[in-house]
Amino acid sequence: MDKDQLQENIAKRVAQELKDGQLVNLGIGLPTKVPTYIPEGVSVMLHSENGFVGLGPTPETVDPTIVNAGGQPVSIMPGGCFFDSAASFGIIRGGHLDVTVLGALQVDQEGSIANYMIPGKLVPGMGGAMDLLTGAKKVIVAMEHTAKGEPKILKRCTLPLTAKSQVDMIVTEMAVIEVTSGGLLLTEIGEGFTLEEVLSATEADLIVSESLRTCLQ
């Protein structure tokens, strides 16, 4: 499985978590692939912290003033609107976002997340990540399970935290994991992987669900 297919599989599974009528914020990178796979009959409104609600796909004629938080050109769907950063972060901090989907460098078994910097490397900034993690009703982390063969789901994050104990769900190419008060609950295994492979690629302790199933993207 190449990297593009791997990320598509993650995006497909995340899309299944979205419900009709929700207001959803998507982080840069992998999360921006999610709208392609939203199930038929489900309509969500996409929010971008740089001042848009109602983001649509990349248009044929690009308007350089309409971009998502990652700087990628997008369109605005009928009913969408523009506003300043103060209003945008008011939406986030006011608890009006139903879901945010973010990438991560590390997540730990308490639901803490590190996703904005590696010490010693140039960092563009965390953007709206801290606000999104604490303001959204549901936080989904969409990421690859490992980085250069090393686990990204840890007992404790070793990189600087973006937020503590805010993640609700982790979706990787290998697994779907829910963050519960009792720990990390493994509910699904990615198609083509075994339980042993998931456990081996995860440093954190996993509770294996009694109804564990294969995740078919």
Residue with tokens 């009528």: 21
Radius of gyration of the chain (CA): 17
Can you say whether the dihedral through the CA atoms of 95, 99, 102, 107 is positive or negative?
positive
Q: Quote the DSSP letter at residue 161.
A: P
Query: Are 210 and 160 in contact, with CB atoms under 8 Å apart?
Result: no
Q: Which residues are identified as catalytic?
A: 49
Phi, psi of 207 (to 5 degrees): -95, 120
Query: Are 80 and 53 in contact, with CB atoms under 8 Å apart?
Result: yes
4, burial (CB in 10 Å: exposed 0-12, middle 13-18, buried 19+): exposed
Query: Are 104 and 126 in contact, with CB atoms under 8 Å apart?
Result: no
Angle at 8 between CA 152 and CA 115, to 5 degrees: 30
Dihedral, CA of residue 32, residue 24, residue 36 and residue 177, to nearest 10: 80
